[in-house]
Amino acid sequence: MLIRKPADIPYSEVTPKALYLRRREFIQTAAAGAIGAAVALSPRESRAQGRAKLPNVRKSSLSATEAPNSYDDATGYNNFYEFGTDKGDPKANAQRFVPRPWSIRVDGLVKTPATIDLDTFLKPFPLEERIYRLRCVEAWSMVIPWVGVPLADVIKKLEPQPSAKFVEFTTLLDASRMPGQRVPVLQWPYVEGLRMDEAMHPLSILAVGLYGETLPNQNGAPVRLVVPWKYGFKGIKSIVRIRFTDQQPRNSWQVSQPREYGFYANVNPEVDHPRWSQATERRLGEFRRRKTEMFNGYAQQVASLYSGLDLRKNY
Ligand SMILES: Nc1nc2c(c(=O)[nH]1)N[C@H]1C(S)=C(S)[C@@H](COP(=O)(O)O)O[C@H]1N2
Ligand SMILES: [Mo]
């Protein structure tokens, strides 16, 4: 795999200059506490809900063309066990979570291990809207307009060593802020991983928002992974650590129930979960079940990543 050093990638190449400058301007305005000026909601509403419009979000040609679910579906029906195990718990219990300041530890097989401030680090990256299908392993699905940056661009800037074959992500561990962590339903902190070629695929993003606004806490503020051809649990939320490794990471769901959840977790209607079928799904807001598509409908883009791999064994 070709990984160029950041010094070789001028920002003018990854970001049209005007966008880059405007984004800097927004960050500076936001830092100065004037964020309310850029918000479409009334100032009171935005303060109460921590909602703020993200400026200069460009549409992506990699978006699905289906109609997105409602904002209420996307933000009111979630799995985020750090805030409880019912689908309504994350929205109810994450309201007071404060996702700033936020730093991410970058370590393992990387040129320079470092602790980076999220806002400073992401400043140069242009934001894209990516409308993706999300298919939970529990057989429900949604279509969500995420706002984020390609994970590949982030990884290139972090400069993993050539020996890095996987990337592991870890969620914040802090039971005082994430009360669900007092309950041992999973081994905390939540951990997920991708093979390096999966992480570098253009569909993989780090999301910082949805519906043109900053990410609500229940959706994984301030930054979470979205990998649209995999079951939802790969989309780890509230990331505080990125570690490059030559060993396949042990992800939380696999650790908890290895017979039911594997490392790959590719959406696959032909491989049932031991306790239920994966052939169909219920789209939130719809009555009739839909047929689940191979790789969640992204087979054309991602199937080649798995040629030669037995997807029954590597579930
Ligand atoms: N840290 C953490 N990330 C997580 C989870 C979780 O419990 N903890 N749940 C996962 C599961 S099972 C799903 S389906 C998605 C759902 O959240 P979303 O609707 O915001 O994508 O988040 C994933 N990320
Ligand atoms: Mo899920």
Does ligand 1 have an atom closer than 6 angstroms to the CB of 69?
no
Residue 136 β-bridge partners: none
Say what the pLDDT of residue 95 is: 97
Tell how far the Cα of 231 is from the centroid of ligand 2, in angstroms.
6
Q: Name the pLDDT band for 19 (thresholds 50, 70, 90).
A: very low
- Within 13 Å and on the Cβ side, how many CA atoms surround 174? 11
The confidence score (pLDDT) of residue 29 equals 38
Ion ligand 2: residues, Cβ under 5 Å: 79, 136-137, 232-233
Q: Looking at per-residue confidence, does 257 or 45 come out higher?
A: 257
Ligand 1 atom nearest 81 alpha carbon: 7
Lowest model confidence (mean pLDDT) among 20-24, 231-235, 286-290: 20-24
CATH of domain 7-31+57-306: 3.90.420.10
| Residue 235 CB–ligand 1 contact under 6 Å | yes
Cβ–ligand 1 distance for 295 under 6 Å, the answer no
The Å distance, Cα 196 to ligand 1 centre, comes to: 21
More confident residue, 178 or 17: 178
* Phi, psi of 165, deg, nearest 5: -110, -15
User: Is there a contact between 82 and 178 (Cβ–Cβ < 8 Å)?
Assistant: yes
Residues in the chain: 315
Residue 186 CA to ligand 1 centre (angstroms): 13
Q: 66 C-alpha vs ligand 1 centroid, how far in Å?
A: 22
pTM of the model: 0.86
Contact 191, 225 (CB under 8 A): no
Q: How far is the CA of 60 from the centre of ligand 1 (A)?
A: 23
CA atoms of 157 and 246, how far apart (whole Å): 19
DSSP 205-249: EEEEEETTEEPPGGGTTT-EEE-TTBBGGGS--SEEEEEEESS--
Number of Cβ within 10 Å of residue 309's Cβ equals: 11
For the cut 50, the answer to whether the pLDDT of residue 22 exceeds it is: no
Distance 15 CA to ligand 2 centre (A): 33
Task: Confirm or reject: Cβ of 75 under 6 Å from ligand 1.
Answer: no
Q: What are phi and psi of 14, to 5 degrees?
A: -85, -20
Instruction: Tell me the average pLDDT across 170-195.
Output: 98
Q: With pLDDT > 90 as the criterion, what percentage of the chain qualifies?
A: 84
Q: What is the pLDDT of residues 70-102, one digit of tens each?
A: 999 999 999 999 999 999 999 999 999 999 999
Please write the tens of the pLDDT for every residue from 39-48: 344 444 444 4
* Ligand 1 neighbour 232 (Cβ under 6 A): yes
More confident position, 12 or 83: 83
Alpha helices in 257-314 (DSSP H): 299-302
Q: Is 172 in the pocket of ligand 1 (CB under 6 A)?
A: no
Ligand nearest to the CA of 234: 1
pLDDT at residue 128 is higher than 70: yes
Ligand nearest to the CA of 241: 1
Name the residue of 70, 80, 225 to mutate for ligand 1: max ligand atoms within 8 A of Cβ. 80
Instruction: Give the best-scoring range by mean pLDDT among 1-15, 22-36, 243-257.
Output: 243-257
Rounded to whole angstroms, the Cα distance separating 203 from 151 reads 8
* Mean of the per-residue pLDDT values of the chain: 89
* Residue having the nearest C-alpha atom to atom 23 of ligand 1: 233
One-letter amino acid at 98 equals: V
Please give the pLDDT value at position 49.
55
Q: Is 10 exposed, middle or buried (0-12, 13-18, 19+ CB in 10 A)?
A: exposed
- The backbone region for 15, taken as left when phi is positive above 0, alpha when psi lies in -120 to 50, beta otherwise, is beta
Query: What is residue 51's predicted lDDT score, i.e. its pLDDT?
Result: 87
Task: Identify the nearest ligand to the CA of 81 by its number.
Answer: 1
| E-only strand ranges, 246-313 | 280-283, 290-291
Residue 220 pLDDT > 90, yes or no? yes
